[in-house]
Amino acid sequence: MTKKNTLLSILFPSFLLCAAGPARAVDVSTHSFAGCGFPDTGQKTCYNATGPIACPPPGADLAQDGTYGPGIGQPSYTENKVSGALVTVDNRTGLMWITNPADAGMDKTYTWPLALAACEDSAFAGYSDWRLPNARELMSIVDYSKSVGPTLNAAFFPNTYPNYYWTSTSCAPDPTMAWYVDFSAGYVHGDTKTTNASYARCVRGGAL
């Protein structure tokens, strides 16, 4: 594990994408993130206490985010047409996403229970195993190099708003709340499941 991934695992242990092994059943995922790496942030400048500096080499005392360039964790997507419908496959994780929610009649907001049901009831592109992504899965398509939303690759995920998108992951210790990803800035937060409405982007773990 690189120094950057080690730091991220300490800061965000619940959301580290690429664990050493398949996702657990409790994560409501059918896919493994093993070995796919963590996406690079795009940061290229390094600093000391007074300002910008030339980035130190890896392993140096002041080595930091800008020291480490893009690696195997960089986002990579392929758009496919299945049964006349467009789906986007993440080449790192193998997860399949509905490319444009409007094509599936899901270009609207839902309370959390209705978002779960909308994905699970979908037969988009002929598949019946669509579901709401868990927090780690939805975070995996965030583009952390973007400072203006929507913070993802809009070419492969069109019609995404710089707004809140539900995940299937409930908040602990309050089960009345669930995590969402805010695609205006790429951060994760919790919201009340039945009071507030957010968008949904469905995913499935199977092959084409």
SS (H, E, C) the chain: CCHHHHHHHHHCCCCCCCCCCECCHHHCCCCECCCCCCCCCCCCCEECCCCEECCCCCCCCCCCHHHCCCCCCCCCEEEEEECCEEEEEECCCCCEEECCHHHHCCCCCECHHHHHHHHHCCCHHHCCCCECCCHHHHHCCCCCCCCCCCCCCCCCCCCCCCCEEEEEEECCCCCCEEEEEECCCCEEEEEECCCCCEECCCEECCCC
Residues 125-177 pLDDT 10s: 999 999 999 999 999 999 988 888 999 999 999 999 999 999 999 998 899 99
Residues 72-99 pLDDT 10s: 567 889 999 999 999 999 988 889 999 9
Predicted structure pTM score:
0.72
Q: Where are the domains of the chain?
A: 77-204
Q: 14 or 74, which is more confident?
A: 74
